Amino acid sequence: MEDSRQSTVLFADVSGSTQLYEAAGDTTAHGAIAGCLDVMRKAVDWLVSIQNKDGGWGEDAVSYRLDYKGFEDAPSTSSQTAWALLGLMAAGEVGHPAVARGVEYLKSTQTEKGLWDEARYTATGFPRVFYLRYHGYSKFFPLWALARYRNLRSTNSRVVGVGM
């Protein structure tokens, strides 16, 4: 039962409400929350550190090399930029300048049809063997990220809910 309660507490805190764990008076959960927040802070810092100069994010298939030594710069793609933005916003960073730069990247690369062209492979089939291109990735994820950004910026709440 204790694990279930801690999960609920963690979810409540990550979504921006610290009242639940304070009301529960559970110091074990509070320690778990602090650890979770430290990990989230590291993830946010890492995403911000690998943002490309154009405001987007990208990853290349070289990240699957056997002699992988860490992240290497890669050209920005709309879907990978959207994934980074969704992660940053889920961590409560909707007001971070990196998010604004990522949103501007998506807006500036959107085509006249309202979609995004993405020539790079952004899905893994079998690493180092073949890679996939899901044509919907470059259409769905950027739209989702932009909708979430708009919705979070147009309310007093910074809590990421279900859906857009």
Task: Tell whether 154 and 86 lie within a shared domain.
Answer: yes
Task: Tell whether 26 and 98 lie within a shared domain.
Answer: no
The answer to whether residues 77 and 122 touch, using CB atoms and an 8 Å cutoff, is yes
Task: Tell whether 57 and 1 lie within a shared domain.
Answer: no
DSSP for 91-136, please give it: TT-TTSHHHHHHHHHHHHHB-TTS-B---S--EEEETTTEEE--TT
Counting the structural domains of the chain, the total is 2
Task: Tell whether 155 and 108 lie within a shared domain.
Answer: yes
Task: Tell whether 104 and 132 lie within a shared domain.
Answer: yes
Task: Tell whether 145 and 83 lie within a shared domain.
Answer: yes
Helix (H, G, I), strand (E, B) or coil at 70: coil
Q: Which of 30-34, 119-123, 129-133, 138-142 has the lowest mean pLDDT?
A: 30-34
Task: Tell whether 36 and 55 lie within a shared domain.
Answer: no
Domain housing 61: 50-164
Residue 153 sits at φ, ψ, to 5 deg, of -75, -20
Task: Tell whether 27 and 54 lie within a shared domain.
Answer: no
Average pLDDT taken over every residue of the chain:
78
| pLDDT of amino acid 3 | 39
Task: Tell whether 59 and 133 lie within a shared domain.
Answer: yes
